[in-house]
Chain A
Amino acid sequence: MKRPPMLMHMRIHGERRGFGLWLPLFLLLPLALVVFIILSPLILVAAILLWPSGWGKRALFSLRAAIEIFWSMRGLSVDVHSGRQRVSISVV
Chain B
Amino acid sequence: MSDNKKKILEMLAQNKISADDAYRLLSAIDGGEGRRESTNKAETAVKGKAKYLRVTVLPNPEKERSGDYDRVNIRVPMSLIRAGIKLTSLIPSEARDKVDLALHEKGFDFDMRHMKPEEIEELIGALSDLEVDVISSKGESIKVFVE
Contact = CB atoms under 8 A, between A and B. Distances in A.
Interface of A: 2, 58, 61-62, 65, 68-69, 71-84
A78 B84 contact: no
The 9 closest A-B pairs by CB, nearest first: A72-B79, A81-B71, A75-B77, A77-B75, A79-B73, A72-B80, A68-B83, A72-B83, A69-B83
Interface of chain B: mostly helix, strand, loop or mixed:
mixed
B67 A69 contact: no
A77 B90 CA distance: 26
Given A68-B83, A69-B83, A76 B77 contact: yes
A75 B84 CA distance: 15
B51 interface: yes
Contacts of A62: 90
Contacts of B74: 77-79
Interface of B: 51-52, 67-77, 79-80, 82-84, 86-87, 89-90
A10 B34 CA distance: 50
A74 B77 contact: yes
Nearest to A77: B75
A49 B103 CA distance: 36
A84 B79 CA distance: 33
A81 B23 CA distance: 65
Given A78-B74, A82-B70, A83-B68, A65 B86 contact: yes
Contacts of B82: 72
Given A2-B79, A61-B90, A75-B77, 18 more contacts: A61-B89, A65-B87, A65-B90, A69-B80, A71-B83, A72-B80, A74-B77, A75-B51, A75-B52, A76-B75, A77-B73, A77-B74, A79-B72, A79-B74, A80-B70, A80-B71, A80-B73, A83-B69
